[in-house]
Amino acid sequence: MLTKFKKSLEQNIDLNPKLWANIEEFAMVKYLKKNEYLLKAGEVCQHGYFINKGSLVKTFLNPNGKEIVQGFYIDEVYAYLSEVTGYFSDTRSNFEIKAIENCELIEFSKPQLGYLVEHFPEFAIMFHKITSSSYQNLYMFSAMRLSLSSEDFLNYLYKNHPIILQRIPDKYIAQFMGISKEWFSKLKRRLLSHS
């Protein structure tokens, strides 16, 4: 159950036996079915997760009631997950996180992660890397999405993040891009016919 998570840790830090024993003690497996929510708006995020299997979408409901896709989490590339705004500020989230495939997650509570960060410097460094990488990805995706035309952004995804196009349903990618699903389908057909 923890094999994939352990491998991810070993790629980033020197995993000593005491740290691993604590991780094994704290880790809880959580299963989500497709379309089940991990977090709903108004809840306080009190956990961090590693995605063993599956993919999720993070959305925001704007004041007009329109659902805006803010990002994606996929086991193969963006496997660490939390709603960082609520997690770090202990405030109710404005975001929702929903499974778009059946998911298997490794769950750690905020106090457990705090303990690991406090007692294991190598884990603290990795935790910082994961958090900063999450923000960097968010800002880069936002910058690319805002600075490129829809067609150029789709081409950027195709060349740099093909896993998103393979695993995330078109309607969520279209919402993320701020375009209709129909327009997204036309752009996707055009892109695939030229490649």
Helix (H), strand (E) at residue 86: helix 84-89
- Per-residue pLDDT tens digits for 113-163: 999 999 999 999 989 888 888 888 888 888 998 899 999 999 999 999 999
Give the Cα separation of 68 and 38 in Å (integer): 17
Q: What pTM was estimated for this model as a whole? A: 0.90
Which two structure tokens, joined as six digits, stand for 143?
A: 């910058």
CA dihedral 37, 39, 99, 77 (to 10 degrees): -170
Is residue 38 within 8 Å of 31, Cβ to Cβ? no
Determine the average pLDDT of the residues in 163-167.
93
- Per-residue pLDDT tens digits for 21-78: 999 999 999 999 999 999 999 999 999 999 999 999 999 988 887 888 988 999 988 8
Q: Which of 73, 192, 191 is nearest to 134 (CA)?
A: 73
Domains and CATH numbers, the chain: 3-119 (2.60.120.10)
